[in-house]
């Protein structure tokens, strides 16, 4: 037994349902009653307007539409779940620490001889890693984010 997966079951043609199709007599796209089906396609239809029975033909509108039914790229750019700033800051901190032991961090003071990658222990902000030095200032990446601290004084 084959199970047909019907995506648009509500709009799928079926015997007894109406379908908009080309009427050979009325010469227009009109509602037709489906009298017979072949597979998923109506085979015989009856015009609701003139009452004539004829083979199913695609409505002009649908026939025109057909060549353009290439699959729409479903790559509707889905935004990645935005990492919260907290997670990103912690990851940056962890990346800079690497597999070093933060217990070996140097106590921070403005007189600290700053070095990129040096782990510092700040009395207020906790452990951080120096990521950038700009003269007497250094960007220290703490677990909760980077801070610019005075160094090399």
Task: Please tell me whether residue 48 binds Zn ion under the rule CB under 5 A.
Answer: no
| Closer residue to Zn ion, CB minimum distance, 34 or 47 | 47
* 100 near Zn ion (CB under 5 A): no
Q: Does 33 bind Zn ion (CB under 5 A)?
A: no
- Residue closer to Zn ion (CB basis): 50 or 133: 50
Q: State which residue, 47 or 149, has the beta carbon closest to Zn ion.
A: 47
The reply on whether position 136 binds Zn ion by CB under 5 A is no
Largest interatomic CA distance in the chain: 97
Closest distance to Zn ion from the beta carbon of 76 (Å): 41
Q: Is 55 in the site for Zn ion (CB under 5 A)?
A: no
Residue among 47 and 97 whose Cβ is closer to Zn ion = 47
- How many angstroms separate the Cα of 118 from the Cα of each of 72, 77, 151? 52, 40, 12
Using CB under 5 A, pick the residue from 12, 14, 25, 88 that binds Zn ion: 25
Binding flag, residue 47, Zn ion (CB under 5 A): yes
- Chain residues in the site for Zn ion (CB under 5 A): 23, 25-26, 47, 49-50
């Amino acid at each position: 037994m084959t199970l047909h997966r019907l995506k648009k079951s509500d709009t799928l043609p079926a015997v007894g349902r109406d379908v908009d199709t080309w009427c050979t007599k009325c010469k227009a796209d009109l509602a037709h009653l489906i009298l017979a089906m072949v597979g998923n396609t109506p085979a015989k239809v009856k015009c609701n307007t003139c009452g004539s029975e004829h083979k199913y033909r695609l409505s002009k509108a649908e026939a025109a539409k057909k060549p353009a039914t290439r699959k729409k790229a479903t790559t509707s750019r889905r935004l990645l779940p935005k990492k919260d700033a907290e997670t990103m800051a912690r990851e940056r901190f962890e990346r800079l620490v690497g597999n070093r032991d933060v217990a070996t961090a140097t106590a921070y003071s403005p007189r600290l001889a700053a070095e990129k990658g040096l782990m510092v222990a700040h009395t207020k902000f906790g452990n951080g890693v120096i990521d950038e030095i700009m003269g007497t200032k250094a960007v220290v990446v703490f677990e909760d984010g980077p801070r610019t601290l005075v160094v090399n004084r």
